[in-house]
Amino acid sequence: MDYRKEYEKWLHSDALTEAEKAELAAIANDDKEIEGRFFDQLSFGTAGLRGIMGVGLYRMNVHVIRHATQSFAEVILEQGEEAVKRGVAVCYDCRNNSETFAREAACVLSANGIPVRLFESMRPTPMVSFAVRKYGCIAGINITASHNPKEYNGYKVYWEDGAQLPPEHADEVAKKMRALDVFSCYKTVNYDEALAAGKIVLMGEETDEAFLANVMTQVTDKAVVEKVADDFKMVYTPFHGTGYQLIPEVLKRLGMKHVICVPEQMVIDGDFPTVVSPNPENPEGFYLAVDIAKKEGADFILGSDPDADRVGIMVNTGNGEFKVLTGNQIGILLVDYTIGAWKRSGRMPANPTVLKSIVSTEMARKVAESNGVACFDTFTGFKFLAQKKDQLEESGEGNVLMAFEESNGYMYGDYVRDKDAVTAALVLTEMGAWYADQGMTLNDAMESLYKKYGFYGEKTLNLVMPGLDGLRKMAQLMADLRAKPPVEIAGVAVKEQKDYSDGSVVCVECGKKTTMELSGSNVLRYEMADGTSIIVRPSGTEPKVKVYILTLGADEAERDANIAKYAAWAATLAE
């Protein structure tokens, strides 16, 4: 693509407002910025689109939203009249421009004769998955960039099962986006007229109530919450996002009396003024919550990201200080608690199963299998976890208790096919109450699990590679590792080299080549002689390569030493 030619096309297009043209005119002498905005389209994948907001083909704006929606509408129209009649659910989060983008998407769908169910105001991401399933929609769209910095927005697309778009449909949307002109391709209607004509129908409290009723089915021990409710305290923050209503409400219904919300972060604001990054994986964002928790003597802190699909916690260490638990540690606690709670309540189904992604802790497998529960891996992404859940349950091979990823995403129940901070908040709080009744903090609980199952440890390194040069560096890094696979890492021999792009497994010592079940993803994995796994994966939503270290030590010291030496090696990959 000739980025200069594309820039001129946009600059002189009648589709742009004067303000948009002024934004482009201001970069007329900045060739690198022009290239960054116009070297290509944003890539449409199974997670849809995500990018920095601004004017340009490689930016998130109303023109790109209309273009993507027209392409998606044509894929839906090809499914036939009955599929079209089922309509599309549209949701959006708290980010700047999210409501505008959602309405633009709704208007394009409506103009193409596709009925729309649009949430009346911002809602947590799991609710679009829920709405697709509840109302039998053919698809769903959610305007969100999850936990990305404030400059970003995104366009997430779901299919009829409530999971993110299958690869074949995503490929078809991407193909149509390549073929259709960004400005002249789309149809649209007046929003108010479509609303008055019933072509766009708003969803509100009735959908919230149906969702909350399903969330409450995941309660296994309300009695223990009521037992400790007078003294058990927690602090909650939505990080200026969509969890601000439903999470406190579901905790109230659980029986919690002391849910102390961080007032500054209960304010909806797409600029996220109190945090550098609204990511509950990062401890820095919890500083206001920690001050309150110390003052109130809280047992733990819970935070949800802006679109309320991820959840993070900080736990009282027992001496009034608080520390973050990683997404893996939260997953381990939830796997162990869920198995125990379902057994105690008599709800354990036949062939119980938990699911995790390939980059998530192996300790979850140890906990599950030690308790007679199967554990399966999938590629990163809840569309794959949802797909595996459906496959296992439809075949009768397994009944999934929960699914999780190390990046603080957790899925329960049959009512969503995506990560869900609302339900995770419920189960985490019940778990915290259960341990409080045993005289234990969640920190105590985690330490007891290490002593019982082994000193597992994980670390994720993010090799950030921004801009157009970064995309090239990411691709080159993966190409170099494939061209010359390492036989030794940090002085330790590599036993097996695994490439998930083709499913190949190579034994380093003997050279024998076999295949594994999973294939079709740009991920490399190295199984080390000391039992550690090293995984290298380019992020699908951010400009970085992720390196995951999954290890096990005889004790804490050995575990931590393993992490340190492999982390030092991983850091060299960015050089």
pLDDT of residue 9: 97
Neighbours of 230 (CB within 10 A): 9
Q: Residue 186 corresponds to which amino acid? A: Y
Residues 374 and 304 in one domain: yes
Biggest distance spanned by C-alpha atoms of the chain: 70
| Final residue before a domain boundary, out of 388, 423, 453 | 453
7 found inside a domain:
no
334/446 Cα distance (integer angstroms):
10
Question: In sequence order, which residues have a C-beta less than 8 Å from that of residue 104 and are 6 or more positions away?
Answer: 62, 65, 66, 69, 188
At residue 174's C-alpha, the angle toward residues 172 and 176, to 5°, is 70
| Final residue before a domain boundary, out of 453, 486, 506 | 453
Q: DSSP string covering 391-403, please? A: HHHHHTS-EEEEE
**Is residue 147 helix, strand or coil?**
coil
Residues 236 and 187 in one domain: no
Residues 474 and 363 in one domain: no
Q: Scan for tokens 């790109």, then name that residue.
A: 64
What φ, ψ does residue 176 adopt, rounded to 5°?
Answer: -65, -35
Question: CATH number of the domain that 477 lies in?
Answer: 3.30.310.50
116/90 Cα distance (integer angstroms):
7
107/200 Cα distance (integer angstroms):
8
Residues 424 and 480 in one domain: no
What φ, ψ does residue 415 adopt, rounded to 5°?
Answer: -95, -15
553/458 Cα distance (integer angstroms):
11
Residues 231 and 187 in one domain: no
Number of domains in the chain: 3
Q: Residue 34 corresponds to which amino acid? A: I
Residues 235 and 196 in one domain: no
At residue 16's C-alpha, the angle toward residues 13 and 17, to 5°, is 135
431/425 Cα distance (integer angstroms):
10
Query: Is residue 298 a contact partner of residue 316, using CB atoms and an 8 Å limit?
Result: yes
Question: In sequence order, which residues have a C-beta less than 8 Å from that of residue 546 and are 6 or more positions away?
Answer: 359, 460, 461, 462, 463, 535, 536, 537, 538, 539
Per-residue pLDDT tens, the chain, 575 aa: give them: 899 999 999 999 999 999 999 999 999 999 999 999 999 999 898 789 999 999 999 999 999 999 999 999 999 999 999 999 999 999 999 999 999 999 999 999 999 999 999 999 999 999 999 999 999 999 999 999 998 899 999 999 999 999 999 889 999 999 999 999 999 999 999 999 999 999 999 999 999 999 999 999 999 999 999 999 999 999 999 999 999 999 999 999 999 999 999 999 999 999 999 998 899 988 899 999 999 999 999 999 999 999 999 999 999 998 889 999 999 999 999 999 999 999 999 999 999 999 999 999 999 999 999 999 999 999 999 999 999 999 999 999 999 999 999 999 999 999 999 999 999 999 999 999 999 999 999 999 999 999 999 999 999 999 998 877 888 899 999 999 999 999 999 999 999 999 999 999 999 999 999 999 999 999 999 999 999 999 999 987 778 999 999 999 999 999 999 999 999 999 999 87
Question: 280-303 burial, b if ≥16 CB within 10 A, otherwise e?
Answer: bbeeebbebbbebbeeeebbbbbb
Residues 199 and 218 in one domain: no
What secondary structure letter does DSSP report for 349? P
Residues 419 and 527 in one domain: no
Question: In sequence order, which residues have a C-beta less than 8 Å from that of residue 422 and are 6 or more positions away?
Answer: 124, 126, 211, 215, 243, 246, 247, 250, 304, 308
Question: Between β-strands 88-92 and 139-143, what pairing exists: parallel, antiparallel or unpaired?
Answer: parallel
What secondary structure letter does DSSP report for 210? H
| Final residue before a domain boundary, out of 177, 203, 229 | 203
12 found inside a domain:
no
How far, in Å, are 166, 169, 330, 361 from residue 567 at the CA level?
A: 34, 38, 22, 16
Residues 461 and 443 in one domain: no
pLDDT of residue 24: 98
Catalytic residue numbers read: 146
124 found inside a domain:
yes
538 found inside a domain:
yes
Residue 461: which domain range?
Answer: 455-572
List the alpha helices (DSSP H) in 197-326.
Answer: 205-215, 222-228, 243-254, 287-296
What secondary structure letter does DSSP report for 166? P
Question: In sequence order, which residues have a C-beta less than 8 Å from that of residue 72 and are 6 or more positions away?
Answer: 139, 141, 157, 173
pLDDT of residue 575: 79
Question: Between β-strands 352-357 and 374-378, what pairing exists: parallel, antiparallel or unpaired?
Answer: parallel
49 found inside a domain:
yes
Q: Looking at the chain, how many residues does it have?
A: 575
Residues 151 and 267 in one domain: no
Structure tokens at 8: 């001129």
Q: Residue 131 corresponds to which amino acid? A: A
293 found inside a domain:
yes
4 found inside a domain:
no
Question: CATH number of the domain that 435 lies in?
Answer: 3.40.120.10
Residues 433 and 364 in one domain: yes
**Residue closest to 108 by CA, chosen among 150, 146, 141:** 141
Q: DSSP string covering 105-132, please? A: HHHHHHHTT--EEEESS---THHHHHHH
- Nearest 10 degrees: CA dihedral of 563, 566, 569, 570? -70
246 found inside a domain:
yes
Q: Scan for tokens 């040069």, then name that residue.
A: 469
pLDDT of residue 469: 84
Q: Scan for tokens 């599929």, then name that residue.
A: 83
Q: Is 422 exposed, middle or buried (0-12, 13-18, 19+ CB in 10 A)?
A: buried
Residues 133 and 225 in one domain: no
